[in-house]
Amino acid sequence: MNMFMQQLVNNKVNSLTAKELLDLAAQYNIQLSSEQANQVIAILRSEQIDVANQTQVERIIHRLQTEVDEYVSSVIQQLLQQFSHYL
């Protein structure tokens, strides 16, 4: 695992804004509303994310499924997978 890239991804995930999330979703042709983006950011801000911690990532995905909806959870999983090759 490339620790430098992991740190960059962690910093980006932990500082992501709703607008950036919407832009990223649009870049990958993923439908996401402003309300959904705000809900995702609120969940991400609830703890310091370490993308290499699979247990934590699964817990966040589960929270997204239950607190937002299953579609949004799958969207975030897709977006995270776009960066997994850097780790």
* Over residues 51-80, mean pLDDT: 89
pLDDT averaged over the chain?
88
Which contacts (CB < 8 Å, 24+ apart) does range 10-18 have? 10/49, 10/50, 10/51, 10/52, 13/44, 13/49, 13/51, 14/44, 14/48, 14/49, 16/41, 16/44, 17/41
The C-alpha atoms of residue 43 and residue 68 are separated, in whole angstroms, by 9
Give residue-wise pLDDT tens across range 40-62.
Answer: 999 999 999 998 888 998 999 99
Q: Which residue has the higher pLDDT, 80 or 74?
A: 74
Q: What is the pTM of this model?
A: 0.84
Share of the chain above pLDDT 90, in %: 51
